[in-house]
Structure 1
Amino acid sequence: MLLSRCNVYAFCSRGVNYQGHLIGGALTYLAISYVVPFEHLSWEVHVGNFLACMLGALFPDIDTKSKGQKIFYSVVAVLIGILFVQQRYDIISFVCVIALLPLMVRHRGLFHKLWFLAFCASGIAIVITWMNMSWQPIGLSLALYFFLGALSHIVLDQTFIAIKYMN
């Protein structure tokens, strides 16, 4: 059956893979951009919001060996490097604690709970604002797009599971 080739198809017999979640994240971003037009924003802000949405779309799967987990730990490594140069050891300790969580939970557990995803998105806004108070609007925007991307992940997973069990 064609759907059994998960490396080629975004939606396969085992579930939605990272490509499917990226498609879901991109469609979520496009839908939000269509409903709430942001013509006055710079292209840098649009790129940041798009990337936040895409990272959010992969984020719930960081509790398992996945493309999302590799990207997550790459982002964490770069962030720690930047924070180290800036001597922001307080934020480094916070980031390190968050980075350990995926190793301590089961798949589709904590990282698939809406309250936890909202907590993580809030953490993004808080850390960005903590770094520079004038960045608060950017932090809130990135946090919102991250959360909506993560929400698209949960919706895709739940939809696929529902369809799978209906057949």
Structure 2
Amino acid sequence: MPGYQAHMLAGAGMAGGIIAGSMYMGWFDAEPIYIAILVTISTLAALFPDCDTESKGQNFFYAIMAVTDITLIIHEHYKWASILGLFAMLPALGKHRGWTHTWWAMLLVPLPIMALPWVFFRTSWEETLPYYAAAVIGYLSHLILDREF
């Protein structure tokens, strides 16, 4: 099975390739910081399915989540901090290669990226679709490397 580095590279590589292709075709245009955010989301999503087992990938994923959560708390974004904390615990609710390694989890786990901004801020789905897509792409890269299809 691929290690966490392979999953990170695959998530970043798939996102980068799709973004580059979309920009080349004229379907997508973005600032470098926005592209970096999308690639980061994809990279983290590529690690998510293995967060249900003790691993370097799990440690890296939760370190990033902890730093993000602390940053949200410092900036008094308590709703977002609590939501992040809740969703970070979800992999512990199953066995390794259980629900986190399914196609439906690939589509459902990132769904709060689109749904929660609408619930709290009435943000349109069009604004959050690229973030959701980046997460799905990263998740998909993990499932492909693990030969789940």
Compute the TM-score of the two structures, normalised by the length of structure 2.
0.80
Task: Tell me: CA distance 1:134–1:127, structure 2 relative to 1, closer, same or farther (3 Å).
Answer: closer
From 129, 132, 143, the counterpart of 1:143? 132
Partner of 1:28: 14
What's the offset of the Cα at 1:110? 1.5
Q: Structure 1 residue runs of 4+, over 6 Å off?
A: none
Distance (Å, rounded) in 2 between the aligned partners of 1:123 and 1:34: 26
Greater relative contact order (CA < 8 Å, ≥ 6 in sequence): 2
Partner of 2:110: 121
3-state DSSP of counterpart to 2:146? helix
In structure 1, stretches of 5+ residues that fail to align are 1-14, 163-167
Give the 5 Å matches for 1:37-56: 37=23, 40-56=29-45
What's the offset of the Cα at 1:119? 1.6
CA-based RMSD: 2.6
Task: Tell me: CA distance 1:143–1:39, structure 2 relative to 1, closer, same or farther (3 Å).
Answer: closer
3-state DSSP of counterpart to 2:29? coil
Aligned length: 146
Looking at CA atoms only, which structure, 1 or 2, has the larger radius of gyration? Answer: 1
Partner of 1:4: none
Distance (Å, rounded) in 1 between the aligned partners of 2:36 and 2:29: 14
* Identity of matched residues, %: 28
